[in-house]
Chain A
Amino acid sequence: MMVVAVSAAAALAVERFPPPDFTDHQLPQTTTPHGRWLGWEYFDMAALAAGLVLASYFALGRRSRKGLVGLATVAMVWLGFWRQGCVCAIGAIQNVSLAVFDPSYTVPLTVIAFFALPLLVTLFFGRTFCAAVCPLGAVQELTLVRPVRVPGWVDQSLGLVPFIYLGAAVLFAATGAGFIICQYDPYVGFFRLSGNAAMITFGICLLVIGLFIGRPYCRYLCPLGAIFGLFSRVSGRHVRIPPDECIQCRLCEDACPYGAIRPPTVPQTPAERARGRRRLGWMLALAPVLVVVGTGLGYTLATPLSLVHREVRLAERMKLEEAGKVEGTIDASDAFRNTGRPARELYTEAIALRERFAFLGGLLGGWVGLVIGMKLVHLSIRRKRDEYSPDPAWCVSCGRCFEYCPSEQQTLIQELPTLEKSGV
């Protein structure tokens, strides 16, 4: 765990040798410039709440793509470039996990707000947070130039990666091994205009991909998106493509760059239905098997997973140095030796940690197995759809499809005079 033992108070006991007697010279004070005013946090929270309300209003009430784009730009500038990527709803998952498992960790209020408010809104209105409040989403939304359609099967399979990422992030955060979502945040270097070279390169690559493939991070990586997808499925008032009734004109079929629009279903023959039911039965039976297999596989990952933890890495390094399998020492092993702590203690701790990671690796593997199993089940269930509608798990409420819909155009034209009058 990340229990920090600061011996600041222990310094009290140290007796200091007096500085020289100067005839007339005042000792300067060490300056302690303060950081950001803490009150800004409340501003951030208020801004978040306002952003969520506005985004939901633009997506569901006004059905205004322009409003969403404008809001996304503001979010990108405010949360991205101004606040430099921290605080972030995606990263908040880790703080929350750490807070659950380590009572000594103080989770900031802003983090709680950034974790809970978007989830709450998603539960009722779908992923409007993704549409226009998340700075990462905004960057991708605004840099999508030439959308290329990705085959549905790619979405279905790669769409599982966020769940795996989520499991790993929670695992590492809860064990105090690190915040991997933050370490591998591709856009934060872009917001700060600095960062380490590898991450900047990764960011550039994702931006380039994002020119053609809509929201690559949101769709194939974002762990929060995975949770949002689940929440959004039950959202009561999700974005609809036609404002009222679908006339099945098929104009919106290709409108979505994120592959979220599902066409109406066609009726099946009884034979097909029977086959489908049998298949579903098989998939349901397969799911527990996958969980067991996943658990087993995850269990074998104890060593690689535990190596993410600094304590284990250090113990491993010390052992290598002891065995003479590596040349020289590193700062961390030197620092450890200088503390005078017996190495055995470190090894005991590291072995205990590894055992813990074996257990947690099993859990992670089981989770991945469960996710895959559920996906297979999900892909085998047929739901009836009468009109073109967005898949709530995939739809980020970006509002692109609105203008494709002739019904929408109709309403717009009807509303035009009133709008002009009201000066919009």
Chain B
Amino acid sequence: MASSSDKLDRRQFVGNGVRIAGAIGLGGFVGFLAGRRGSADDTVWQIDPNKCIACGNCATYCVLDESAAKCVHSYPMCGYCELCTGYFEPDPNDLNSGAENQLCPTGAIVRKFVEEPYHEYSIDEALCIGCAKCVKGCNAFGNGSLYMQVRHDRCLNCNECAIAVACPSQAFVRVPASNPYLLKHKGTGA
């Protein structure tokens, strides 16, 4: 009887030892991880516009039915062209907002006359599905003022972004959450 309780005690002792060692090891590992991350900001996903090739994968690979990546417009870079190649089909019938002339399949770009001869273009985000067709059009001829960005009011910030996996030019990067956009005109003083 005594021997069996001894055995039990010994077992408990060994068990406790293992558990405490495990807890200390885990604590050490957590300490290492915490030390490694330091005080760095957590990250969110964003598109580096300099790497984006406007392939259109953002529209279909996002886990959301309506992608979190949408087109944005950097107004200071825009030429305010009458014939905007991001707004109009490559060879438009006429320079008006008729559906037959528009490039955007969902009609998400709004064209507004500012003053002779300038027109302002802006994105209606409710309609934009992130196909990047206009980004291609703007880049092909224009200043590249239309570009893709992950909109953080929609983004779920998945552990591994499904679009990042599908991105052919590795344009999806993790950026600090406190500064979650990679805007083109930032810091240009334009």
Chain A minimum-CB-distance residue to B72: A30
For B188, give its contact among A12, A23, A235 (CB under 8 Å). A12
Give Cα A336–Cα B22 distance, bound, in whole angstroms. Answer: 47
- Nearest CB on B from A280, distance (A): 20
For B50, give its contact among A11, A100, A108, A178 (CB under 8 Å). A11
> B160 near A35 (CB under 8 angstroms)?
no
* Contact residues, A312-352 vs B (CB, 8 A): 330-332, 334-336, 338
- Nearest CB on A from B125, distance (A): 8
- Which residues on B sit within 8 Å (CB–CB) of A84? 156
Give Cα A56–Cα B64 distance, bound, in whole angstroms. Answer: 35
> B63 near A195 (CB under 8 angstroms)?
yes
- Nearest CB on A from B187, distance (A): 5
- The listed residue with most A CB atoms (<10 A of its CB), out of B16, B33, B44, B180, is B33
> A310 near B170 (CB under 8 angstroms)?
yes
CB 8 Å contact bits of B161-184 with A (1 = contact, 0 = none): 010010011100111011011111
> A107 near B33 (CB under 8 angstroms)?
yes
A112, CB-defined interface residue at 8 Å: yes
For B158, give its contact among A20, A38, A182 (CB under 8 Å). A182
> B180 near A34 (CB under 8 angstroms)?
yes
> A19 near B64 (CB under 8 angstroms)?
no
B65, CB-defined interface residue at 8 Å: yes
> A30 near B53 (CB under 8 angstroms)?
no
Give Cα A96–Cα B50 distance, bound, in whole angstroms. Answer: 29
Give Cα A338–Cα B189 distance, bound, in whole angstroms. Answer: 29
- Which residues on A sit within 8 Å (CB–CB) of B23? 120, 123-124
The answer to whether A99 and B75 touch (CB under 8 A), given A35-B153, A35-B155, is no
B140, CB-defined interface residue at 8 Å: no
- Which residues on A sit within 8 Å (CB–CB) of B22? 123, 231, 234
Give Cα A116–Cα B29 distance, bound, in whole angstroms. Answer: 9
- Which residues on A sit within 8 Å (CB–CB) of B177? 35, 38
The answer to whether A30 and B19 touch (CB under 8 A), given A120-B26, A123-B26, is no
- Which residues on A sit within 8 Å (CB–CB) of B80? 19-20
> B76 near A14 (CB under 8 angstroms)?
no
A32, CB-defined interface residue at 8 Å: yes
> A34 near B153 (CB under 8 angstroms)?
yes
Give Cα A331–Cα B22 distance, bound, in whole angstroms. Answer: 48
> How many B residues touch the partner, as a band?
35 or more
For A30, give its contact among B75, B120, B165 (CB under 8 Å). B75
> B159 near A23 (CB under 8 angstroms)?
no
For B30, give its contact among A33, A116, A330 (CB under 8 Å). A116
A153, CB-defined interface residue at 8 Å: no
For B115, give its contact among A25, A94, A120 (CB under 8 Å). A25
Give Cα A10–Cα B122 distance, bound, in whole angstroms. Answer: 26
For B42, give its contact among A28, A91, A109, A182 (CB under 8 Å). A109
CB 8 Å contact bits of B41-85 with A (1 = contact, 0 = none): 111100010100101010001011100000011111111100000
Interface of A is mostly: loop
> B63 near A35 (CB under 8 angstroms)?
no
For A178, give its contact among B33, B76, B160 (CB under 8 Å). B160
The answer to whether A335 and B53 touch (CB under 8 A), given A16-B76, A32-B181, is yes
A266, CB-defined interface residue at 8 Å: no
> A335 near B115 (CB under 8 angstroms)?
no
- Which residues on A sit within 8 Å (CB–CB) of B10? none
Give Cα A33–Cα B149 distance, bound, in whole angstroms. Answer: 11
- Nearest CB on B from A258, distance (A): 24
Chain A minimum-CB-distance residue to B43: A106
> B43 near A108 (CB under 8 angstroms)?
yes
> B188 near A14 (CB under 8 angstroms)?
yes
Give Cα A235–Cα B19 distance, bound, in whole angstroms. Answer: 7
- Nearest CB on A from B99, distance (A): 25
- Which residues on B sit within 8 Å (CB–CB) of A182? 158-160
Chain B minimum-CB-distance residue to A107: B37
> B33 near A331 (CB under 8 angstroms)?
no
* Contact residues, A14-43 vs B (CB, 8 A): 14-20, 22-23, 25, 27-36, 38, 41
For B118, give its contact among A20, A107, A178, A234 (CB under 8 Å). A20
> B157 near A86 (CB under 8 angstroms)?
yes
Chain B minimum-CB-distance residue to A185: B159
> B118 near A22 (CB under 8 angstroms)?
yes
> A331 near B64 (CB under 8 angstroms)?
no
The answer to whether A94 and B168 touch (CB under 8 A), given A35-B177, A234-B22, is no
- Nearest CB on B from A307, distance (A): 14
> A335 near B168 (CB under 8 angstroms)?
yes
**Which listed segment binds B: A1-9, A208-216, A394-402, A403-411?**
A1-9
Extra contacts besides A19-B75, A196-B63 (16): CB < 8 Å: A6-B173, A10-B50, A19-B78, A19-B80, A28-B122, A32-B181, A35-B44, A86-B158, A96-B33, A99-B37, A100-B33, A179-B159, A182-B159, A183-B162, A194-B65, A331-B53
List 18 A–B pairs whose Cβ atoms lie within 8 Å, in order of A's numbering: A8-B182, A27-B76, A30-B73, A30-B74, A30-B183, A32-B181, A38-B177, A94-B159, A95-B159, A100-B33, A106-B174, A109-B34, A123-B22, A183-B165, A196-B162, A331-B53, A331-B169, A335-B53
